[in-house]
């Protein structure tokens, strides 16, 4: 597939920021209470001056009206975000699972929407922030679906369905995803040439992203690197729940769940 060079949003960190955290791919859901608890504990204790959530915070988001359903998991999870947002700015970027989170969700939680991709200027360095799915060019079927599902027409049709029907469809999506994981089918990774083009275009040195669930650091070219965020699964053995923390000293991975 031909690489896409999108428009890059710009965000300059205020001078008082000393610590910035990045997380993604928590895939929060009611059936994974250990991960939810780890996330809530992290929100209450992080020393960060700002938090960036780079997509797939939720396993699935079926529409902002889920917040109005009494006792819904979505409402409970957003209560934790509300509390965190009272202490520090929280930025949310859509992933491939929660791209339907809209303005009502952001307002309800008191958090800031973040375009994909965004260039963060911090400590004299420029980093490109992305969920990462746009760069997985080998997954042609997904890229076609992504274009369709991000259109206003598709979203309007989906959200016009009753909430219960949307939840049923979401369960089907989760079952299909689990079946694919169990089958061992390979997942596409970020395209290296496309990532380099992004960094050159943005005049940045580091790409920080999630989506692939393959936490690592990759040297791309002279002076350029790609840093992949961890997915979260606190019930796994060993558990996975890492935060990528940026300070003046550089990037560091912080394990939230004891190994």
Using one digit for the tens of pLDDT, what is the confidence trace for 26-75?
999 999 999 999 999 999 999 999 999 999 999 999 999 999 998 999 99
**Distance separating alpha carbons of residues 94 and 76, to the nearest angstrom:** 19
Q: What is the pLDDT of residue 258?
A: 62
Give 127's strand partners.
120, 206
Least confident range from 92-106, 170-184, 213-227: namely 170-184
Rounded Cα distance, 253 and 246, in Å: 9
Average pLDDT over residues 199-227: 96
In this structure, is residue 1 part of a structural domain? no
| N- to C-terminal Cα separation, the chain | 39
- Residue 49 within any structural domain of the chain: yes
**35 neighbors 133 (Cβ within 8 angstroms):** no
Note whether 246 and 120 are within 8 A (CB): no
Instruction: Determine the pLDDT at residue 222.
Output: 85
Query: By mean pLDDT, which of 107-116, 127-136, 140-149 is the weakest?
Result: 140-149
The predicted model scores a pTM of 0.95
**Whole domain around residue 137: which residue ranges?**
9-255
pLDDT band at residue 127 using 50, 70 and 90 as cut-offs = very high
Q: Is the pLDDT of residue 182 over 90?
A: no
Residue 245 lies in a domain: yes
Structural domain includes residue 2? no
Residue 185 resides in a domain? yes
More confident residue, 219 or 170: 219
* Distance, CA of 66 to CA of 28 (rounded, Å): 15
CATH of the domain at 233: 3.60.21.10
Average pLDDT over residues 237-243: 94
Mean pLDDT of 80-107: 97
In a domain, 38, yes or no: yes
Q: Does residue 1 register a pLDDT over 80?
A: no
pLDDT of residue 176: 76
Question: In sequence order, what DSSP letters do the residues of 10-24 get, joined into one string?
Answer: EEEPPTT---EEEE-
pLDDT at 83: 97
Give 171's pLDDT tier (boundaries 50, 70, 90). confident
- Name, in order, each residue with C-beta under 8 angstroms of 113's C-beta and a sequence gap of 6 or more: 91, 92, 93, 103, 106
Total tally of structural domains belonging to the chain? 1
Strands (E), the chain: 9-12, 20-23, 50-54, 90-93, 112-114, 118-122, 125-130, 206-209, 216-221, 224-228, 242-247, 250-255
Question: Which residue carries 């490109």 as its tokens?
Answer: 128
φ, ψ of residue 68 to 5 degrees: the values are: -90, -5
The verdict on residue 4 lying in a domain is no
3 within a domain of the structure (yes/no): no
């Amino acid at each position: 597939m031909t690489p896409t060079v999108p428009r890059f949003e710009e965000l300059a960190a205020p001078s008082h920021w000393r610590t910035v955290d990045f997380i993604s791919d928590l895939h929060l859901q009611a059936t994974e209470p250990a991960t939810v608890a780890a996330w809530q504990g992290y929100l209450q204790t992080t020393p960060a001056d700002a938090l960036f959530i780079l997509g797939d915070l939720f396993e699935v988001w079926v529409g902002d009206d889920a917040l109005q359903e009494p006792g819904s998991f979505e409402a409970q999870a957003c209560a934790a975000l509300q509390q965190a947002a009272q202490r520090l700015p929280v930025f949310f970027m859509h992933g491939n699972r929660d791209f339907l989170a809209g303005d009502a969700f952001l307002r309800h939680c008191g958090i800031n929407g973040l375009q994909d991709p965004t260039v963060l200027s911090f400590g004299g360095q420029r980093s490109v922030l992305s969920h990462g799915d746009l760069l997985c060019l080998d997954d042609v079927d997904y890229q076609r679906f992504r274009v369709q599902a991000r259109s206003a027409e598709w979203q309007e049709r989906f959200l016009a369905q009753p909430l219960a029907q949307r939840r049923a469809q979401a369960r089907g999506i989760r079952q299909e995803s689990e079946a694919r994981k169990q089958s061992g089918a390979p997942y596409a990774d970020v395209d290296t040439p496309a990532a380099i083009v992004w960094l050159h275009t943005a005049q940045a040195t580091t790409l920080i992203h999630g989506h692939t669930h393959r936490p690592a650091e990759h040297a791309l070219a002279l002076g350029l690197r790609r840093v992949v965020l961890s997915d979260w699964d606190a019930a796994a053995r060993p558990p996975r729940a890492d935060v990528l923390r940026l300070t003046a000293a550089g990037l560091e991975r912080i394990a939230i769940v004891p190994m």
